[in-house]
């Protein structure tokens, strides 16, 4: 497996990679920067603003990673910022074609945190600061494409690495010394997920081509976020312009993305959410108390299913359903 640590400069990729190597047995570091250094010498007569823009860099990253993994039989940990979704898709497609599974992790933090971390070092300071705006421009798309998103602002590199190790597919939690100091090992549980404001552990819902999310149009992000977080038991992430992300409280599952829209809804939705419950009466009363408008006076019934149709504060229809067999069935 190849574990790709992506994110802006200052997000903690290098320090997290060092910690992760200690938690994933049979792993080694692969740094694609060295492929770039090689090409800068070999292609000095064909300058590029960023060595990632050379097609040869992307192809050689794939070739080197595949050969390194094949030759050593080890997992690869790759700390490398790549902001182009096209470049990422090219690299990851090549790696998967070489039978090397990829686990893509986005390490995220807000501008203030990133800036303070970058300014604490003199290494390429201005160039790294200049990359913050390009990261902001693609942050949402990178998060949607990642297998795991972790906010690093309130976490140490060791904590970030522990969350990554725990989320790796098909791998148990890392082992460590027991609290009693007996020298035996015990499964190390990852630290609890912090609230969304401190950076949320995210394990998105996958589909065969990437990550699944549901987008809901609204007129007022705050009003819609209050309704849907209460209705679904979700947590609100950071608002970003006209978008507001809502996540399951434990970070794992489908994101609901609220999108502020200027137009007014005029027709019935052709796509809607179903809230399936074992107690139709209780759930109907609950969502109505949150501000939903009940559109059906009596439950609709079909093949043992019973449901009510509601509208959220922006008129978007959704259903509250009870499956056959009734409460507790």
Report CA-CA distances (Å) from 186 to 20, 40, 173. Answer: 18, 47, 10
Query: What's the chain's length in residues?
Result: 329
Give CATH superfamily name and number for 205-263.
Answer: 2,3-Dihydroxybiphenyl 1,2-Dioxygenase, domain 1 (3.10.180.10)
**Cα distance between residue 135 and residue 156, in whole Å:** 22
> Would you list the domain boundaries of the chain?
2-203, 205-263, 273-322
Using CA atoms, how far apart are residues 107 and 156, in angstroms rounded to an integer?
12
Please give the pLDDT value at position 190. Answer: 33
Write down the pTM of the prediction: 0.58
Q: Which residues pair with 203 in a beta bridge?
A: 252
Mean pLDDT of the chain, nearest integer: 84
Mean pLDDT along residues 255-277: 87
Return the closest-CA partner of residue 64 out of 47, 84, 72.
72
d(CA 155, CA 162): 10
Phi, psi for 101 (deg, rounded to 5):
-60, 145
Tokens standing for residue 190 = 């990852």
Query: What is the per-residue pLDDT across 204-214, written as a single tens digit (0 to 9) for each?
Result: 677 666 678 89
The tokens describing 215, both together, are 């987008």
| Beta bridge mates, 320 | 275, 308
Q: Tokens standing for 327?
A: 């409460």
Q: Which alpha helices (DSSP H) does 151-243 contain, by range? A: 157-167, 221-232
- Look up the CATH superfamily of 2-203: P-loop containing nucleotide triphosphate hydrolases (3.40.50.300)
Tens-digit pLDDT profile for residues 38-75: 998 899 888 887 889 999 999 999 999 999 999 999 99
Q: How far is CA 258 from the centre of its chain?
A: 16
Q: Which of 253, 211, 255 is closest to 237 using CA atoms?
A: 255
What is the predicted pLDDT for the residue at 198?
Answer: 36
Topology, domain 273-322 = 3.30.720
Asked whether the predicted pLDDT for residue 314 surpasses 80, the reply is yes
What DSSP state is assigned to residue 219?
S
Percent of the chain scoring above 70 in pLDDT: 86
Element containing residue 274 per DSSP (H, E)? strand 273-276
Nearest to 272 by CA among 310, 237, 221: 310
């Amino acid at each position: 497996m190849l574990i790709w640590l992506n994110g802006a400069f200052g997000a903690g990729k290098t320090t997290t990679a060092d910690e992760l190597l200690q938690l994933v047995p049979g792993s080694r570091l692969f740094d694609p920067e060295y492929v770039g250094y090689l090409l800068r010498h070999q292609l000095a007569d064909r300058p590029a603003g960023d060595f990632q823009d050379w097609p040869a860099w992307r192809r050689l990253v794939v070739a080197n990673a595949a050969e390194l993994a094949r030759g050593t039989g080890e997992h690869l940990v790759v700390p490398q910022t790549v902001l182009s979704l096209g470049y990422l898709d090219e690299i990851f497609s090549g790696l998967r074609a070489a039978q090397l599974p990829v686990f893509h992790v986005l390490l995220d933090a807000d501008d203030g945190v990133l800036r303070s971390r970058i300014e604490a070092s003199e290494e390429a300071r201005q160039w790294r600061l200049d990359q913050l705006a390009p990261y902001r421009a693609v942050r949402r798309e990178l998060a949607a494409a990642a297998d795991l998103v972790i906010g690093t602002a309130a976490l140490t590199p060791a904590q970030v690495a522990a969350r990554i190790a725990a989320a790796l597919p098909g791998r148990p939690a890392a082992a460590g010394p027991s609290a009693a100091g007996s020298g035996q090992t015990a499964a190390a549980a990852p630290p609890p997920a912090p609230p969304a404001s401190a950076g949320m552990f995210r394990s998105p819902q996958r589909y065969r081509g990437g990550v699944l999310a549901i987008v809901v149009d609204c007129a007022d992000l705050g009003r819609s976020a209050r309704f849907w977080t209460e209705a679904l038991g979700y947590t609100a992430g950071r608002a970003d312009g006209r978008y507001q992300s809502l996540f399951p409280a434990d970070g794992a599952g489908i994101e609901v993305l609220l999108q502020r829209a200027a137009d007014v809804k005029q027709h019935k939705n052709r796509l809607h959410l179903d809230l399936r419950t074992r107690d139709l009466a209780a759930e109907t009363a609950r969502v109505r108390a949150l501000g939903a408008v009940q559109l059906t006076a009596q439950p609709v019934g079909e093949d043992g299913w019973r449901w009510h149709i509601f509208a959220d504060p922006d008129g978007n229809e959704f259903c509250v359903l009870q499956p056959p067999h009734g409460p507790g069935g």
